[in-house]
Structure 1
Amino acid sequence: MSTPAHEPPKSVLEPSDDSLPEFTPMAWRVSEIRAAIPPHLFVRDTWKGILYLARDVTMAAIAWRLALFIDPLYAAGSTFGEAGTRLNECVRWGTWMIYWWFQGLIFTGIWVIGHECGHGAFSSNKVVCDSVGYVVHTLLWTPYFSWKISHHRHHRNHASMERDEVYVPKTRSDLCIPDEHQEHPIDYEEYFGDTPIYTLYMLIRQQVVAFPAYLLYNVSGQKSYPKWTNHFDPDSILFSPSQRDAVIVSNMGILSMVLIVYLASMTWGFVAVAKYYGIPWLLVSHWFIMITYLHHTDPELPHYRDAQWNFQRGASATVDRDFLGWMGRFFLHDVAHFHVIHHFFPKLPFYHAPEATAYLQAFIGIHYHRSSKPVFKALWDNYNDCQFVDNEGATVISALFSSSFYQRHIR
């Protein structure tokens, strides 16, 4: 069999209803899917991972060093009067925005390296993975071991309505929406007809605070958990008694960051810390939430209840996206472009994901999802369209009109 191209062919996630095939969950075993991918693509190269991390840290240091010149460069103001001074200020803040954009992407790439460590994809040496991951994630306000534990459970149970850890869709009953009846059609505009401005506000709120809210309050997590479930309580339902010490170590890392930021603010001022570090970190939170939300949310992606769910079906219920073009591929280590393969084989290194995805797509065919829709348009569309799933059914679609879609396309 000839080797497929590194860039897998694109399947269309935005077809008209008439062109959609009836959905049938995949029947292959994980071992059969793994056998379709050459073994050398699963090999983890520790030094290669370290070089990628060193590259990212070097870029972050260079960006920070250049940013030190921004305020002094424009501090003198303009010799062309008030209009010149205003233009000078616009250019100064425009330069800061360029710094925040690229430093946010660089920081996100560093966070992705920590994510690789959490899965054991950075190195075959567990101590190396946990040491690098702990430092990297702590510096970016992520409790490494705590999040690693719940994230592993998400991978093991993705797209399961009963057991998944995050992006568990609401049901009709959660939103007090009655079931579909042909005799009494539902006016969905009455339930979801928010003004665009309010929808935009809610979307921005999600993008800015969703990750901290998930860590602190289990927002978008499994609804069966107790009300105060969070990633910082060693006795939380998220963790077993044997994982308690790991949670405490994670908390100690976050507390150390509180002290570091406090001392830095006392030394250089809160505004300086916010400009050089705080805003890029907020962008890390945004990019991470946007990427993962779009990986797991689309009108074409199924969720399963126990009768139909298995690991490989859950893994295929994700979508690869062309995210920010070359910047997404270079700065974010292909994390958005090739996520489906990651759900099938979390220990496969990111630098092998493009080639491995080509083999995966060739094997599973229509069960592989890829979208070329502009990501900000996809974010807006999916946030508006993917509102709930039906109360019953072994296979359900997370969409505003899930029942009509279900009746047409799912057996």
Structure 2
Amino acid sequence: MSSLSNASSDRDEKDLPVFTPMPWSLQEIREAIPSRLFVRDTARGLRYLFRDVVLASVLWHLASYIDPIFKNPAVVQVLRPVGAELLRWSAWSVYWWFQGLVFTGLWVIGHECGHGAFSDHRSVNDTLGFILHTALWTPYFSWKISHHRHHCNHASMERDEVYVPKTRSDLGIPHEHSIDWDELFGDTPIYTLFMLIRQQLLAFPAYLLCNVSGQKNYPKWTNHFDPTSILFTKEQRNVVMMSNIGIAAMIYSVSLASSMYGFWEVVKFYGIPWLAVTHWFIMITYLHHTDPALPHYRGQEWNYQRGAAATVDRNFLGWQGRFFLHDVAHFHVIHHFFPKMPFYHGEEATQHLKAFIGNHYSYSEKPVFAALWDNYNECQFVEDKGNVLFYRNKKGQAVLRPAKVESKEL
């Protein structure tokens, strides 16, 4: 399973490689990881946080010079108006790229806090996590609760919280042998690109507001802002309201900043980098949990460790992903096994995990934008029946088949 590939159009399904679910217990896997790698160091975490805050501040300060420099009459005279504008927007693009990565790194630290991986002290985790996530439009406690449930139930068709695959019946695909797949999935590349961009920019707000891509068994209006939502228990309602107060404070703060400095100034310095956070976060999580070679489970075939292994590590943006994003994409599989392990131990712990579970560890070197396009097209639906499931593409093809499956379920 470590090699992620595409199905060929002419391959008979009975000849597909066979997948056997992972046999080990979570305790056996944990014993393969040195205990020192589970130790959280608050001071070390604070150093990473301080670094990111400094980077964000420096980039913000440097960006404040972009318009004054390239709108300066002397500069415009030398570069000509078109040249000055071209360089001005190029400079803004550089700022948006790197500030978006830095903001995403800050969001990742908030995510670490939500898991209790930043510090041994709950008050430190929740205080910093609340500040960081609220500043980036994430209801900290509300999302922390549903995200914890996602980790506890990942890859379970019945209980997972997000990225739950659509089934054949969800899409109204008949079980006939002769199906016009082009009629069902014959979207133009332009339309597919539009839908993909929509996913990248709106999927996270849509999930928080409307449960888009979430558990299909939830009521229609399930969301992260209703304290009485099925997502939360009665005991959790107060912290959900606290998260809502934080978001309300952000609405007020951004409105105030827009009135003081101008709406477009807020968009340039803060709004577009925040959109980049949404894009990177959705891209990272989508590619972690969505691939033709990753299984989903029903019933008793699922357990926690099998769900944790149903993720894939990726070489995400090379050194930039490692430095700015705190290895969140490079070493995500180990995070699903042990979410309280701090991110700075992810690389070493992954080597021990890989040595123990072997081919049940998944890694992909495919360039991430190519992987995003391919997986968006290849991962369409799973079958209505069966306890070990793999995504099928726009031709109804899978790349793996379970070791034990009845032919009628294929």
TM-score by shorter chain over 0.5: yes
Equivalent pair of 2:290/2:375 in contact (CA under 8 Å):
yes
Alignment RMSD, CA only? 1.8
Map of 2:407 onto structure 1? none
Map of 2:302 onto structure 1? 309
Larger displacement relative to structure 2 (10-19 or 315-324): 10-19
TM-score by length of 1: 0.94
Equivalent in 3, 9, 19 of residue 12 of structure 1 = 3
Map of 1:353 onto structure 2? 346
> Residue deviations 1:24-54, cap 9 Å, x none?
0011000000000000000000000000000
- 1:51-130 matches, within 5 Å, as 51-77=47-73, 84-130=80-126
Q: Do structure 1's residue 394 and structure 2's residue 394 form an aligned pair?
A: no
Q: Do structure 1's residue 132 and structure 2's residue 128 form an aligned pair?
A: yes
CA 1:84–1:242 in 2, change beyond 3 Å: closer, same or farther? Answer: same
CA 1:341–1:20 in 2, change beyond 3 Å: closer, same or farther? Answer: farther
CA 1:267–1:81 in 2, change beyond 3 Å: closer, same or farther? Answer: closer
Identity of aligned residues (%): 65
Task: Determine the C-alpha separation between the residues in 2 that align with 1:326 and 1:369.
Answer: 20
Equivalent in 207, 219, 232 of residue 225 of structure 2 = 232
Task: Determine the C-alpha separation between the residues in 2 that align with 1:275 and 1:360.
Answer: 42
3-state SS of paired residue (2:293): coil
TM-score by length of 2: 0.94
Map of 2:330 onto structure 1? 337
Unaligned residue ranges in structure 2 (runs of 5+): 405-410
Aligned letter for 2:237?
Answer: R
Equivalent pair of 1:78/1:85 in contact (CA under 8 Å):
no
Q: Do structure 1's residue 166 and structure 2's residue 162 form an aligned pair?
A: yes
Equivalent pair of 1:78/1:84 in contact (CA under 8 Å):
no
Map of 1:299 onto structure 2? 292
Task: Determine the C-alpha separation between the residues in 2 that align with 1:273 and 1:297.
Answer: 34
Equivalent pair of 1:299/1:398 in contact (CA under 8 Å):
yes
Larger displacement relative to structure 2 (72-81 or 373-382): 72-81
Equivalent pair of 1:33/1:360 in contact (CA under 8 Å):
yes
Equivalent pair of 1:390/1:402 in contact (CA under 8 Å):
no
Task: Determine the C-alpha separation between the residues in 1 that align with 2:51 and 2:273.
Answer: 18
Task: Determine the C-alpha separation between the residues in 1 that align with 2:398 and 2:258.
Answer: 53
Equivalent pair of 2:294/2:311 in contact (CA under 8 Å):
yes
Equivalent in 236, 244, 259 of residue 251 of structure 1 = 244
> Residue deviations 1:79-121, cap 9 Å, x none?
7879821111011000000000000000000000000000000
Map of 1:213 onto structure 2? 206
Equivalent in 112, 127, 146 of residue 142 of structure 2 = 146
Map of 2:44 onto structure 1? 48
Map of 1:261 onto structure 2? 254
Map of 1:185 onto structure 2? 178
Map of 1:35 onto structure 2? 31
Equivalent in 4, 22, 25 of residue 26 of structure 1 = 22
Equivalent in 282, 288, 291 of residue 289 of structure 1 = 282
Aligned letter for 1:43?
Answer: V
- Displacement after TM superposition at 1:189 (Å): 1.6
Equivalent pair of 2:19/2:402 in contact (CA under 8 Å):
yes
Task: Determine the C-alpha separation between the residues in 2 that align with 1:245 and 1:68.
Answer: 40
Aligned length: 399
Q: Do structure 1's residue 363 and structure 2's residue 356 form an aligned pair?
A: yes
Task: Determine the C-alpha separation between the residues in 2 that align with 1:90 and 1:407.
Answer: 49
